[in-house]
Amino acid sequence: MEIFIIKLLQFILSISLLVLLHEGGHALASKLFGVRVEKFFVFFDVTVGKWSGKLFKFKPKTSETEYGMGWLPLGGYCKIAGMIDESMDTEQMKRDPQPWEFRTKPAWQRLIIMVAGVVVNFVLALFIYSMIMFHWGEEYVAMKDMSMGMKFNSEAKQLGFQDHDILLGTDRGTFRDFNVDVYRDLSEAHYADVLRGGKKVRIDLPGKLNLLDMLKSTPRFLAPFTPAVVDSVLQRMPVAEGSKDSIVTPASQMGLQKGDRILSVNGKAIDSYNEFTDEIGSVEDQLSVVKTHADSLKLRAVTITVAKAGSQKVDTLKANLGADLKFGFFAASFLKLYEGRTTHVNYSFLESFPAGVKYGWDVLAGYVSDMKYVFTADGAKSLGGFGSIGSLFPSTWDWYMFWKMTAFLSIILAFMNILPIPALDGGHVLFLLYEMITRRKPSETFMIRAEYVGITILILLMVVANLNDILRWIGVMQ
């Protein structure tokens, strides 16, 4: 429960900040051109019965704007006078146009007002990334220094990759460190260069691998090779996530110790921690379809063979795992495996800006590139709602990860809002560009209908994304 609350608080704080600044961009641009902002709210003040839904509100004596906070933490809004927006306040449109209204301003001013929120979010993301570079710098393991190379699945091996290959780059460029861009480049590359046995080898690639398949396949297309060696053992672990009650871990009961090497799982030989997790994953898949408690117990009775640390002795150990299939031991982390080989880059205040802008631009480019998968069946299944987004935040309060996630969400918010969908900023921009090119303004009736269509599309997307979260939570969908 504690972990859930920490993630929830980080999510709400991040979204609140982004929405506040996004809507603040619209409000600032509106006031710059003399357009009245009637309401400025963080969160939605959805009416509940006779209650207005406002947690608090205030209106400065010298301002036409009512500021406040609603109870529903799913965003926020800025109500601009004389504009057809998600508030669907059509009564104001029946009155005579006023000089302080959005609809009476020149198209170029209205365009600036509509793109201001997106611009603020994008600039904010670049600023946050720059400040991350300035405060924390960058620390990574260079691909060329990953001496154990990669672990590849069968599809990758059919293309010519071999376990322990050290990836150098593709026809799209040289790899710096291991991240999702490695998958993106390999999916579109026509060849990849690897270091194998000290020699450079070129592997021909089709140039059209499915990125989603590469990321979602079990085992994955590739992952850093991790030895199946025990690095640490937990003596006790919670009965359930967030519980204060604990039990002795199976690893402790079995007598696993630091330095022990796992040789097989349920009789199947393994050569890495990657394969160990794959085998436990297959047990988990089988558990999801068993029908009796006896079958469940049988599957959770796992046998492993272990080469004991500092000796030639090989032990066969048995454990009865819980429903979560946790042993209670860990292999060495990625950074620990390559301790002493990490590259750390510090940036001065001025140097941090070009570094942050480049990083943010690469994130945006990758996100835009991946959008083509949304329109496939697998892409629709990969959509996630508030639960998926919230789960991306760390389980402990980590300011580095918080700001990195906030910057990423800011880029997503900017990109999604500029899509040409009615009810989004991009929809308004599309109609404004049409007006500026044709010198013809869409009718208010058309704009109202378009707004309804846009809201319907957004609600459907939200339903699908959050339904996917629920299906994953109950185990129906991966």
3-state DSSP percent of the chain in helix, strand and coil, to 5: 45, 20, 30
Burial class (CB in 10 A: 0-12, 13-18, 19+), 155: middle
Beta-strand relationship, 261-265 and 301-307: antiparallel
- Using pLDDT thresholds of 50, 70 and 90, give the confidence band for residue 304: very high
Task: Give the model confidence (pLDDT) of 221-261 as tens digits.
Answer: 999 999 999 999 988 877 666 566 778 888 888 888 999 99
Contact by Cβ (8 Å): 203, 192: yes
**Does the pLDDT value for residue 302 go beyond 80?**
yes
Radius of gyration of the chain (CA): 27
* Mean pLDDT for the chain overall: 86
**Does the pLDDT value for residue 312 go beyond 70?**
yes
- Stretch 315-328: mean pLDDT: 85
Cα angle, residue 156 at apex, residues 150 and 158 outer, rounded to 5°: 130
- Using pLDDT thresholds of 50, 70 and 90, give the confidence band for residue 475: low
Question: Which of the pair, 478 or 302, is modelled with greater confidence?
Answer: 302
Contact by Cβ (8 Å): 249, 317: no
Task: Give the model confidence (pLDDT) of 46-80 as tens digits.
Answer: 777 777 788 888 888 888 898 988 887 767 788 89
400: number of Cβ within 10 Å: 11
Task: Give the model confidence (pLDDT) of 365-408 as tens digits.
Answer: 888 877 766 666 666 666 666 677 777 787 788 899 999 999 99
pLDDT given at position 146: 93
C-alpha 301/C-alpha 50 separation (Å) is 58
- Find where tokens 């109202």 sit: 448
C-alpha 243/C-alpha 2 separation (Å) is 9
Task: Give the model confidence (pLDDT) of 160-215 as tens digits.
Answer: 999 999 999 999 999 999 988 999 999 999 999 999 999 999 999 999 898 888 88
Task: Give the model confidence (pLDDT) of 450-460 as tens digits.
Answer: 888 888 887 88
